[in-house]
Amino acid sequence: MRQRLINKTEPQENSSLLRSSSDKNTIVDEAISLQSLLFDNTNSKENWIEGIKYHSKNVTNLLLNNQIDAFNGYLRSQFGGEVPEINPTADFSGEKAFQVKKGLENLDYRPILQDLLQTAILIEHSTIPPYLTALYSIKDGTNILPSQIIRSVAVEEMLHMIMVCNVMNAVSIQPSVNRPQNYPNYPMKLPLNVDFYVGLETFSSNSIATFIAIESPSNPLVKAPKYDYDAQPEAMFSKSAVQEDNFWTLENMKDFIMKNVHTIGEYYDVVFFYIVVFQIIAYYKANGKLPQTFEELNKGGIFTGDPAKQIRPEQYYGSGGKLYPVDALEGVILVFQEIKGQGEGADDSIFDVDPSQFEEGAELAHYFRFKEIFHEHFYLGGDYRPFTDENGMMPVTTPPVGKPLPVDWNAAYPMKPNPKMSDYQSNPQLFEQGKQFNITYKKLLDAIQAAVEGHSEELAKSIMYMYALKEQAIGLMSQPLTSQYNAGPTFEYPSN
């Protein structure tokens, strides 16, 4: 049995589908089977890491690109070996003993997914204050188009945060957005393998360059826009107790992320893979066999959450993007497709949806919207033939060369980078204004928290708080702090 488990995966009848869906990612040609990755604890750490890289790419490429038939073939090709028999049970809490060797099947998924998904919330949350700061620093009546772009991205990041909360609630894990430990502390690095800092800065080429780095796509190439296309541009938690000899630990997973995950999109790929893995294990423990189709994996298992805690489209008052409730794996797929598409583009395009569909209101992904501001040109209407290869693909670093996008870099308040409340201690007026801003921001987060705890009607208050935040931020940014800088919002947890 063990020999079959640790054999390298061999080409199957669906291998062409797997390869075609994986062309845009570089993965190893051979790896241990998914079955071996899940159940064989004699694998080396190196094989485990390579297996994670290989199978996470295959699983995410197939499911997040809606290739369900290919995914079914992939499952059948990977789950051909025998595994220890167990008595079927719906209990996945680890309270009952199973006659199987130690490994992933004995781990409680909740602490691990809680940490990984809560970190996803922190990643989304970490982008909102910098985007809002740059937006509020733009003086009224100037930079109209850049303001619209930044505002649209900030609203969509809040949407992403809420949808991650939906995923957590779907697997019976309470999300948290308003506690002190959930607050970003600027300047900071995202919890990924990145070499840049995110901070609170005024609108400038430097802050927009940081936003471009935040939203960087994981794929180096993208489909070049059609030259003849005629359109107007649209405006960390505690570690859980786990077995020391099991690679499937939170500590190992975080180590893998910090060494191998370089973009937000790649982070979501890894989290999605873990969700699928735990759903596979839940199915195995409940049925005594491994799943062979997506239909068997879709519902039940770890999806035991209260539907009343889901935020639904009719309850969300933001503009831009689609909000998806989650009660099964298909809901997670829709959420991650939306988040990744809005951030780095869908289907290798610069758009946040499939460009062949051109849905009403389709926009560029965040990365490309920020590049338009930085280079002061739109993408659409430009000639990218000099940058493209024989397949019509161009590097994502290709600058936009379409119609000019007017930008006045000087029409922004000279805010002190990364201000703190301690900077205002000697100025009672500024200190009180900074304090009131932070109280309002906390109220905004409180409204989101109440909504994801089952009181969706509280979400409507967020609109009122957003208007108040802008007024309070401008009140700070319009006042000198030093001879060089003005004051600005700090986005710190309010102290009594």
The two tokens of residue 439 are 């109280």
| Residue of higher predicted confidence among 417 and 245 | 417
DSSP H helical segments within 288-403, as ranges? 294-298, 329-344, 366-375
Q: Report how far apart, in Å, the C-alpha atoms of 73 and of each of 59, 362, 396 are.
A: 11, 33, 32
Angle between helices 329-344 and 264-287 (to 10 degrees): 170
Which residues, other chains included, contact 113 with Cβ-Cβ below 8 Å and sequence gap of 6+? 168, 171, 173, 271, 274, 275, 278, 302
Confidence of residue 90 (pLDDT cuts 50, 70, 90): very low
> Which pLDDT score, from 0 to 100, does residue 351 have?
83
Angle between helices 366-375 and 329-344 (to 10 degrees): 10
What is the distance of C-alpha 165 from the center of its chain?
12
Got the DSSP string for 179-230? SGGGS--SSB--SSS----B----SSHHHHHHHHHHT--SSSEEEPPPTT--
Mean pLDDT of the chain: 84
Contact status, residue 199 vs residue 417, Cβ threshold 8 Å: yes
> Which pLDDT score, from 0 to 100, does residue 30 have?
64
> Which pLDDT score, from 0 to 100, does residue 495 have?
83
Confidence of residue 396 (pLDDT cuts 50, 70, 90): very high
Query: How far is it, in rounded angstroms, from Cα 163 to Cα 334?
Result: 10
Confidence of residue 83 (pLDDT cuts 50, 70, 90): low
Supply the pTM of this predicted model: 0.86
Query: How far is it, in rounded angstroms, from Cα 337 to Cα 331?
Result: 10
The two tokens of residue 103 are 């490994």
Query: How far is it, in rounded angstroms, from Cα 408 to Cα 412?
Result: 8
> Which pLDDT score, from 0 to 100, does residue 352 have?
75
Query: How far is it, in rounded angstroms, from Cα 91 to Cα 179?
Result: 31
Q: For the chain, give the number of residues.
A: 496
- pLDDT over 50 (residue 212): yes
Query: How far is it, in rounded angstroms, from Cα 369 to Cα 371?
Result: 5
> Which pLDDT score, from 0 to 100, does residue 463 have?
84
Helix (H) or strand (E) holding 352: none
Confidence of residue 95 (pLDDT cuts 50, 70, 90): very low
- pLDDT over 50 (residue 65): yes
- Enumerate the β-bridge partners of residue 377: 404
Confidence of residue 81 (pLDDT cuts 50, 70, 90): low
DSSP H helical segments within 23-108, as ranges? 34-39, 45-63, 68-78
- pLDDT over 90 (residue 105): no
Give the residue-averaged pLDDT of 385-414: 95
Peptide bond into 130 cis (omega under 30): no
Instruction: Provide, rounded to the nearest whole percent, the portion of the chain with pLDDT above 90.
Output: 66
The dihedral sign for the CA sequence 258, 260, 264, 269: negative
> Which pLDDT score, from 0 to 100, does residue 236 have?
33
> Which pLDDT score, from 0 to 100, does residue 189 have?
95
> Which pLDDT score, from 0 to 100, does residue 242 have?
32
- pLDDT over 50 (residue 210): yes
The structure tokens 């740059």 sit at 134
> Which pLDDT score, from 0 to 100, does residue 225 have?
83
The two tokens of residue 223 are 């489909």
Instruction: Provide, rounded to the nearest whole percent, the portion of the chain with pLDDT above 70.
Output: 81
Contact status, residue 137 vs residue 415, Cβ threshold 8 Å: yes
Angle between helices 250-260 and 45-63 (to 10 degrees): 70
Residues 150-199 have pLDDT tens digits of 999 999 999 999 999 999 999 999 999 999 998 999 999 999 999 999 99
Lowest mean pLDDT among 31-40, 179-188, 383-392: 31-40
> Which pLDDT score, from 0 to 100, does residue 159 have?
92
The residue type found at 387 is F
> Which pLDDT score, from 0 to 100, does residue 106 have?
74
Q: Report how far apart, in Å, the C-alpha atoms of 101 and of each of 47, 105, 261, 310, 356 are.
A: 19, 9, 30, 37, 49
Residues 259-285 have pLDDT tens digits of 999 999 999 999 999 999 999 999 999
> Which pLDDT score, from 0 to 100, does residue 149 have?
95
Confidence of residue 114 (pLDDT cuts 50, 70, 90): very high
The structure tokens 């937000």 sit at 264
